[in-house]
Amino acid sequence: MNEFNLHVIGCGSALSMHGRHPSAQVIRYNQLKCLVDCGEGTQDRLKEAGIKSFKIDLILISHLHGDHVFGLPGLLSSFSHLKRTAPLTVFGPVGLKGLLESIITYTSLKVTYPLHIVEHDVDEIREIWSDDEFQICAFPLNHRVPCNGYIFKERKQKARFIKEKVEAHQLTPQQIKAVERGESITVSGKEMAAASFLHPPADLLSYAYCSDTRFDQRIVKWIKGVSVLYHETTFMEDKLDLADQTGHSTARQAAMIAKESDAKCLITGHYSSRYKDLTPLLNEAKAVFHHAWIAEEGKKYDLRSLINRGEY
């Protein structure tokens, strides 16, 4: 079974208060580790979560506001101190390359590993990374500055053998490879379909990251049917005007997006520091979309288990 999990590193907004910190998450799919946003103090939060930052393969930055990017220069510097040699690709909106190159130049930051900075200015959904099993796409969000959302999609499942049947029929390595390719095989003179030896394939999972954004139904078509949606809930509905002015969403609006997109689950986040108790935000979201919960810093969510067991 493919491993697909989310580790929440920071779920606050601009100020670190009430035990919450600026935005950062780690998405892991099998051996691929992807850091999404890198607010101030992210590398310290990664240590607290037991995540080895130098093993991160990709970094995705949603936009260039400080609470999403101020931790990135320090992290890149730490990679050099840790003697990183593996290549690193950093994706983000236009301006990211100039920002990082200026910091590297004016601070004499020594980058000892291949660093690739890829800017993308999207007005539709577009693929930015993929392999045979996994795909990452960027799509535009409606914020005060250019801002990208990201969706992570499983493309296919690895074959899961029924161990008892493999042993009972004493399949050879060549037969096992044929089954993996979906081919029928001959066992004791009888032709048997590959499906006879495999568990039914699990549903393909997806995860969408939407922070920061005004309420914008345009994104529904890009995240339709998503398994798990992370959508910012900076404010409650009584701050609707402030949310629109600042380019943010309310908990009710995030729930509306989750409902319209047929998401299975909603994780709320990017909470304003004005809220010490997050229960009212959760209740506001649940009134529209029941399968919603609060992001918990330091918590790892097994997305497959979450969906399969209905743990929402």
Q: Which residues participate in catalysis according to the annotation?
A: 67
Distance CA 21, CA 42 (A): 8
| C-alpha span between 98 and 40 (Å, rounded) | 19
Task: Pick left, alpha or beta for residue 109 (phi over 0 → left; psi -120 to 50 → alpha; otherwise beta).
Answer: beta
Residue 77 CB partners (closer than 8 Å, separation 6+): 107, 109
Residue 250 gets which letter from DSSP? B
Residues shown for the chain: 312
- Give 5's strand partners: 28, 302
Q: Dump the DSSP string for 93-151.
A: STTHHHHHHHHHHHTT----S-EEEEE---SS-EEEEE-SSEEEEEEEE-SSS-EEEEE
Tell me whether strands 206-210 and 147-154 are parallel, antiparallel or unpaired. Answer: antiparallel
Quick check: 237 and 251 in contact, CB under 8 A?
yes
